[in-house]
Amino acid sequence: MLLKDLNIRKYDFNNEMPVNITTNLKKLNDWPSVYIIHDDKKIYIGETNNIAKRAKQHLKDRYKKKLKEIEIIFSSKFNKSVTLDIENFLIEHMLADEKYELLNLNSGIKNDHYYQSGDYKKDFKYIWKMLKNEKIVQEENYSNLENKDIFKYSPYKKLSREQYEITDEILNNLLEDMNHNEDSTFYIKGGPGTGKSILAIYLIKRLNDLHKELKEEDNEYISYQAVKLKEILELNKKDNLKIGLVVPMQSFRKTIQQVFKKVNGLKVNMVISPFKAANSQEEYDILIVDESHRLSKRNSTRSKEHKKFYTEMGTQLNWIKKKSKYQIFFYDKGQTIRSTDIGEDIINNIDKTRKNYQYELKSQFRCLAGEDYIKYIRDIFSDNPPKEMINFNNKEYEFYLFNDVNDMIEEIKEKAKDKKYELSRNLAGDAWPWNKGEKDIKIGPYSYPWNTTNIDFINSKNAINEIGCIHTSQGYDLNYAGVIIGNDIKYDEKKSKIIIDRSNYYDIKGKHLTNNKKLKEYIINIYNVLLTRGINGTYVYVCDEALRKYLSKYIPNWKDI
């Protein structure tokens, strides 16, 4: 244990508290510490090199001075890097603990490494245990909180250097263009697990918090971005910007709305559908669009309102541009799954009359097997497959091929019984018709039901006993994913080639206006998405025997472990 002398001290949070600290904990007047100020409902978490001075500043703030208690965490082994790391650790996990409303603003934190950072992080569990003993947190084990959506999609996520630099550049360019009244659009490309959704949420929270920086009486540091925003608001005679987060997929949109409901400063109505954006009575200043590749070109909906918008305003991409002055698009053309999806049109239809910025997220953070796994999956289903098997199980990632589908289903259910891996689900391609509540997925002697809800299926009560589809799993992170590859995709042994069986593909909208070449691209994209949901592992069952035999050259067999 590196933090052998870890301590926590509690004080009433009032004007006498800084004097008591100066008298009783003199060394903390010039030593890094982490602190928590709270009452029964609200909490603020910070770090400082002078706790007495910082407490005096907080006692001048109209909101924080109403808080009742302060806990100070310190150790002789603390340094600035450690306290910043602990501060972020507590913000992330105490937000997910949901005992208090978190008052912290989002000022952006990089995931920097420092000397012995791995050893320090191991000791964070002792800090959590101390807070549990003091009844400041509810959950016994902080790692259990990491499966919750409010943790996974928290706007307080620590960003990688790549993510931080891209978002910082976006904000600087955006504010500069707004200040000069220049129209601009931002395009951020990123594959599975590169953090597109995290950054979209981070940006809306950061933009929302910028104007609050100037209003905090105890703020030690006012960012350049906050000052710039103030100039923009004053110039345009506005109190704040009108910002929306557009999420095309209904299920994922509902999940993000539930996260926003629990975060101070964010509101459920900030997370909207493309139709809601188009139907807005006023123009948005900024629309941030997650999963932009799923915006629609056309829709077979019977809704007169939707048809009106498609007729008068064209594609949903046009809707977004017509209803906002600035746009930020996160996209991955490899996750386009229908002919109605915008896909590459996001880039192909760039408006050259306005400024355009393009960025690419390259680092993958979801799968423990890393970027090599993502590329390997794509290569397996391509016309240029790998020359040999890569065993990712040697890299603490479970990737196995099952010969019996029920063995795989039951193994995923076993994983979900462990609280650490409870967010494990079985998924399948659109190779069976869908009839709500019925066991439509029939494989040999077994039959299973499709997901019985399209809204936040992943977190629904009976999800572990159902099979999720692409529309209820795209965008989500799972601990383990069991993926059933149906008879919509097969292997032609004579041609030594992966083929599709159009008759066994049951997404009517997915088939619409496609030739076999294009449909094959969409079906393979679907399986690429499903096979890259798992953080800790992916299990695979293949219905077509020839395809199973082919894939056995690239995926280790479960029976062999």
For 9-31, the pLDDT digits (tens) are 999 999 999 999 888 888 888 89
**Which residue has tokens 């989500």?**
476
Owner of token pair 């109403």 = 66
Note the maximum CA span of the chain: 84
* Cα distances (angstroms) measured from residue 273 to each of 255, 355, 503: 13, 25, 32
323 pLDDT tier (thresholds 50, 70, 90): very high
pLDDT for position 13: 97
Give the pLDDT of residue 110.
67
- How many CB atoms neighbour CB 53 within 10 A? 15
Measure the CA–CA gap between 530 and 469, rounded to whole angstroms.
9
For residue 300, pLDDT beyond 60: no
CATH 3.40.1440.10 in the chain, residue ranges: 7-147
What is the tens place of the pLDDT at every residue in 159-177?
988 999 999 999 999 999 9
DSSP SS3 for 430: coil
Grade residue 561 by pLDDT with cuts at 50, 70 and 90.
Answer: low
Strands (E), 403-477: 425-428, 441-443, 446-448, 467-468
Alpha carbon distance 322, 305 (integer Å)? 17
Q: Where in the chain is the domain with CATH 3.40.50.300?
A: 161-361
| The pLDDT of residue 302 is above 60 | no
Of residues 140, 129, 137, 94, the one with CA closest to residue 419: 140
Instruction: Place 215 in a pLDDT band, splitting at 50, 70 and 90.
Output: confident
**Tally of CA atoms within 13 A in the half-sphere of 146 that contains its CB:** 13
Would you say residue 527 has pLDDT above 90?
yes
371-560: CATH topology is Rossmann fold (3.40.50)
- Dihedral, 199, 204, 210, 212 alpha carbons, nearest 10: -130
Structure tokens at 556: 């280790």
Q: How confident is the model at residue 299 (pLDDT cuts 50, 70, 90)?
A: low
Residues across the chain = 561
Pick the CATH number of 161-361 from 3.10.20.440, 3.40.640.10, 3.40.190.80, 3.40.50.300: 3.40.50.300
pLDDT at 304 over 80: no
Architecture of domain 7-147: 3-Layer(aba) Sandwich (3.40)
**438 alpha-carbon distance from chain centroid:** 31
Question: In the beta sheet, which residues pair with residue 42?
Answer: 101
Any bridge partners for residue 288, and if so which? 245, 328
Contact 296, 510 (CB under 8 A): no
Cα 36 from Cα 25, distance rounded (Å): 16
